[in-house]
Amino acid sequence: MRPARTAGSRPAVPERRGAAIANTAGRPPPWSGQFRNRAAPPAESQDPVMLRSLLALPAAALAAAAVPAAGGPAAADTAPPAACAPAVVAGDLAFSPPSVSPGGTSSASLTVTNCTGEPQTVGETWYGRFLSGSSAGLPAGCPVVDPLPRPVTVAPHASVTSATGYLVFPGCTADRLRLTVTLVQAGTTLGSRTADLLIDQPAAAPQRRG
């Protein structure tokens, strides 16, 4: 059924597809301006600061990754602590009690310390000699004290204390016993310590006149 026509209206002319195509030849399509307006700006128009920031990111990542690798060998290059010298160190030599009367006994003690990580063996030699400020040589009534050698083995980072008792004869007229201890290891003297034991001599009785 055909649609009714009103007065004065012209019938619609059917569109010819071939003519539409022919009319658009040589002219850009009506929508081409839309794509042209949305084209990306050229690379030269981008912000140079942003470009430098983007280029710096990979370099910063590589530098951060290289920090642990560079720090590893530095820790291994730490110099070890210097070895102690001498290997065994002697402490103070002391008498207890520090003074006695003739007939009394006192004990001398010495502590040696191993400052290395290996066991150490040293030789101690204890020399004693009675002395008097009023006479030269050996005081009357006092014996000759023979040297006393003794080996001492000290564990790593440990200490060992040696002690020796000395008797002052009742008739000894010396006013002191001088003791010296020498440490030797493999023929090398490591050191020595000296201490005096004071001898309290009784006061001379006053002489009676006439």
CATH number for the domain whose boundaries are 88-199: 2.60.40.10
Q: Which residue has the higher pLDDT, 180 or 50?
A: 180
The reported pLDDT for the residue numbered 27 is: 53
Arithmetic mean of pLDDT over the chain: 73
How much is the pLDDT for 84?
Answer: 67
Residues 124-171 have pLDDT tens digits of 999 999 999 888 899 999 999 999 999 999 999 999 999 999 999 999
The pLDDT score that the predictor gives to residue 134 is 83
Q: Which contiguous run of DSSP H or E holds residue 58?
A: helix 48-76
Residue 60, pLDDT above cutoff 70: no
pLDDT tens digits, 105-120: 999 999 999 999 999 9
Percent of the chain past pLDDT 90, that is, above it, reads: 52
What does the CA dihedral 187, 189, 195, 201 come to, rounded to 10 degrees? 40
Give percent of the chain with pLDDT exceeding 70. 57
Which residue has 């006479």 as its token pair?
Answer: 135
**CA 99 – CA 196 distance, rounded (Å):** 9
The least confident of 32-36, 64-68, 194-198 is 64-68
Between CA 97 and CA 104 the distance in angstroms is 10
pLDDT at 121 > cutoff 80 = yes
